[in-house]
Amino acid sequence: WDLPLPDHSAERSWTSIRLSPQQSIELGRAHGTFNAIFGSNRSDTFELALGLLQQFLEGGNFQNESLSLLDMQHRITDSYL
């Protein structure tokens, strides 16, 4: 993944999201893996996920497609896993 490194000098802003229990479990697994390998925290893991989502959306042409949220989730998962 060729994502730019985050600018740690920039002011951080926080938001909250709602996740289903299954999505929470999957995010927890990703966090556990990245924590063990890189020492990352939950914010780092979530920031990586958002960066990958942004990279995926910018690289694809989705304006003419009518995709459900589940279809989009499968496309993203198939691309990165």
**DSSP labels for 17-40?**
----HHHHHHHHHHHHHHHHHH--
Q: pTM for this one?
A: 0.49
Report the share of the chain in percent with pLDDT over 70: 79
pLDDT at 24 (0 to 100): 77
In which region does residue 66 sit, left (phi positive, over 0), alpha (psi from -120 to 50) or beta (all else)? Answer: beta
Band of the pLDDT at 80, cuts 50, 70, 90?
low
Share of the chain above pLDDT 90, in %: 0
Residue reference for tokens 């989730």: 73
Q: 61 near 76, Cβ under 8 Å?
A: no
Rounded mean pLDDT, 1-16: 71
Residues 37, 50: Cα–Cα separation, whole Å: 19
